[in-house]
Copies of this chain bind each other. A is one copy, B any other.
Amino acid sequence: MNGFTYFIPTRVEFGRQSLEKLADLLIKGGHKQLLLHYGGESAKRSGLLDRVLKQVEKSGANYTALGGVNPNPKVELVREGVRLCKEKQIDFILAVGGGSVIDSAKAIALGAKMDRDIWDVFERKCSPDQAVPIGCVLTIAAAGSEMAGGMVVSNAEKGLKRDYGSECLRPVFCIEDPTLTYSVSRWQTACGIVDILMHTMERYFSPTRNTELTDEIAEGLMRAVIRAGRVVCENPEDYEARATLMWASSLSQNDLTGMGRQADWATHQLEHDLSGMYDNVSHGAGLAVLFPAWARYVMDDDPERFCQFANKVWGLSDNCADRNALALGGIQAAADYFAALGMPRTLKSFGVESDRLPEMAEKCSFSGTRTLGSVKKLSCEDMLAIYRMAYEG
């Protein structure tokens, strides 16, 4: 087990009616000038935004609204939010939505304390660690951004999607009411399930040895998510399964399932440049296509880990002399589960053009200047090989 820092100060208020605690949270935090950040029309239509506004009014805070966050949140809207924060002297950002809204809010929160353009952060030109505090009302179980210090933002102009993380970006509170996710579409629910699983899998596949406790937690979380995912696809209003997914989304990305281990993250990075170039690709769907290709490409570097994954997570018998077959069986089980959720199996099916794969690998490798992953260090050529494997599935 490696040494680690564990610091997750986000207060989670979980359960039916937890939204009713929002006014108190705002009052206790002393937040007076809010930026209310949200996505499209669904938050308005569902009445959620009205419920949130009632709580904001009850708290006595003023607010400025900024909606319009799309999946793969854009730096242009972030810049607008930064401008508003500076103009209105915003002291708190309330994100109402899922990972995209929360990530957009984080970028705004960071930009509001900076003198230079926010995109510089994503190009690693500076490393700020000050931000306006953030709170969330979570509406999708997926990204886990609600307890995490990281964020991902897209730059359409450059065709790039980039991440950044800082302790100052962990939200101070998150309201999690599973009933708010009943109306999430089957497609988005499925993308979320893949994302939740992948956040733990990125940490589970690792060169670090002797991480038994973290392994147990990670495997248990994955099993619970796999079962709850099946239930939710049958019955979107199953409270218990929605609750499992929502809590798992937070735990899967708040670092708990990776403590003491070096993570991998190659699949996520490969996906960022996929959906960075193809805006129609949902993050979760991109991950579902890329993971099996990545896993088959790297499994020989850690066959026993893939066998453990097959056995402990997917229930394949460990009494299998052919370890290669067992490892492959686990990867196939994951691929089949993703497909059963309705995920595509190939990059082709997204409309990705095969002759653009070299460009994708070029971008993902920062023009050959970085490698990805820790199970196997991937060069630009490796990335291209994985994209090609994923192209046909």
Contacts and interface: CB of A to CB of B under 8 A. Distances in A.
Interface in A315-336: none
Contact of A224 (B10, B212, B243): B212
Among A3, A210, A223, A248, the one with the most B-chain Cβ atoms within 10 Å of its Cβ is: A3
B6 A18 contact: no
A7 B11 contact: yes
A243 B7 contact: no
B260 A247 contact: yes
A220 B216 contact: yes
Interface in A131-150: none
Contact of A6 (B12, B213, B216, B224): B12
Among A6, A17, A228, A260, the one with the most B-chain Cβ atoms within 10 Å of its Cβ is: A6
Contacts of A11: 5-7
B9 A14 contact: no
A46 B6 CA distance: 27
A17 B2 CA distance: 12
Nearest to A242: B1
Contacts of A14: 3-6, 259-260
Contacts of A4: 12, 14-15
A240 interface: yes
Interface string A218-238: 011101110110000000000
A265 B10 CA distance: 26
Given A18-B3, A212-B224, A213-B248, A243 B219 contact: no
Contacts of A385: none
A173 to B, nearest CB: 9
Nearest to A21: B5
A210 to B, nearest CB: 4
A361 to B, nearest CB: 36
Interface in A240-284: 240, 243-244, 247-248, 251, 256, 259-260
26 contacts: A1-B239, A1-B240, A1-B244, A3-B15, A3-B18, A4-B14, A5-B11, A5-B13, A5-B14, A6-B12, A6-B14, A7-B10, A7-B11, A7-B12, A210-B240, A210-B243, A212-B228, A213-B220, A213-B225, A216-B220, A216-B223, A216-B224, A217-B217, A220-B220, A247-B259, A247-B260
5 closest cross-chain pairs (CB), A and B: A3-B15, A216-B220, A9-B9, A210-B240, A6-B12
